[in-house]
Amino acid sequence: MNMRSASKFLSIAAVLLVAQSAVADALLKLPNFEALANKATKVVNITLDANLLGLAGRFLDSNDPEDAAAKELIAGLKGVYVRSYEFDTDFAYPKADVDSVRKQLGSPGWQQLVQVRSRKEHQDVDVYILIEQNRATGLAIIASEPREFTIINIVGAIDLQKLHRLEGQFGIPKLDLEEKKSGK
């Protein structure tokens, strides 16, 4: 290998390493909640890496509006991870595990987008976004209630506009706060 091809190889390796580290930053280390499965009344445990997202994309029907929206959204994604547990008693889950995920979001690049502390609903929700080169490359949502917690980690180029456009789909009702207010 001559000097020119060696430097070319090193440049490519450096670019790949940077790309890999960007993915690693957006990918949170989620604690193992397997032990909670027996105590929980409802469990949602989803791990979709780039390979499975690609496979899921092939099974989305472009003629179906819901599927088409999902297909468009996952185009730039590298992973979707969801851990959601519901219990029939208060604080049956170790809060420290949820806090350990929150702690990871203090690392550089992650920005807190919204923090909601609802006394009425007894629900705390934190939305974090990872910004790299003015682009959102990661999203994390941590929601906790006395009987439920949800951790969502989306890795990859996220178009928040597209995510917002999904409103009214997947069984989520469209918000009608404006209409309610004008109708008063």
Partner 1 sequence: MNDEFENELKRALRPVEPDAGFADRVTAHIRDSAGRGDRIRPTVRLRFRWLPVALAASMALGIVTYEWHAHRVREGIEARRQLIEALRVTQEKLDFVYQTVKQEAHSNDDSGV
Contact positions vs partner 1 (CB under 8 A): 44, 46, 48, 52-53, 55-56, 58-60, 66, 70, 73-74, 80, 82, 84, 114, 116, 118, 121, 123, 125, 127, 141, 143, 150, 152, 154, 163-164, 166-167, 169-173, 175, 177, 181
Shortest approach of partner 1 to residue 95 CB, angstroms? 18
What minimum distance in Å lies between the beta carbon of 134 and partner 1? Answer: 22
Q: Which two tokens stand for residue 154?
A: 């989306």
Q: Is the CA virtual torsion 71, 74, 76, 78 positive or negative?
A: negative
How far apart (Å, rounded) are the C-alpha atoms in residues 93 and 85?
9
Instruction: Say if CB 144 and CB 124 are below 8 A apart.
Output: yes
Minimum CB distance to partner 1 smaller for 137 or for 150: 150
Q: Rounded to 5 degrees, what angle do the CA atoms 68, 69, 74 make? A: 100
Q: How far is the CB of 112 from partner 1 (least distance, A)?
A: 12
